[in-house]
Amino acid sequence: MPSFKAKYSYTIKRGANPGGGGGGNMTTDKDYSLNLSVQQVLSLWVQGSALHHFTEMWYWVFLWCLFSSLFVHGAVGLLMLVMLQRHKRGRLITLVLVSVGFLASLSGGVITSAAVAGVYRVAGKGMAPLEALVLGVGQTTLSVVISFSRILATL
């Protein structure tokens, strides 16, 4: 599948002697492929065994957070449309509330995904694709639980 790799991944090649001076026999090239495709994220398919770069980890966790947040906000938006169909401004209220809620969870997802990826990167640990799924969906789940609980009202 060379065409798949060229189409859906970004490859960085680093040699043992990038400056070209001195040395001699060290010609080992390491292939660092970044898995930055939505298709790869949704299929949980990764080149190699785990995600090792900060960018990969952040992207995967963020996309799972984004997709689960889209699902939750889409379902809530449909429910709001059905419940507010007879209200004079029901569609406008639905549109405003769903978009504000989605944008708030999106910005929170960007920050928390970067924090999670940073911790994994600093620890030197690779992230399995299933871990990215659990962490991304977990962010949305935690957001829903905190929204429905009365924790924020007590602060």
Band (pLDDT 50/70/90 cuts) for residue 11 is: low
| Top-confidence residue, 31 or 89 | 89
Query: What is the model's pLDDT at position 5?
Result: 45
Q: Give pLDDT tens digits for 41-91.
A: 777 777 777 888 888 899 989 999 999 999 999 998 899 888 888 888 888
Query: What is the model's pLDDT at position 84?
Result: 85
* 2: its two tokens: 């060379």
Mean pLDDT (the chain, rounded): 78
Q: Which of 105, 107, 99, 51 is nearest to 77 (CA)?
A: 99
Please state the φ and ψ torsions of residue 7, each to the nearest 5 degrees.
-85, -35
- Residue in this structure with the two tokens 């507010």, named with its chain if needed: 84
Query: What is the model's pLDDT at position 138?
Result: 94
Query: What is the model's pLDDT at position 35?
Result: 65
pTM over 0.75: no
| Top-confidence residue, 37 or 72 | 72
Query: What is the model's pLDDT at position 38?
Result: 77
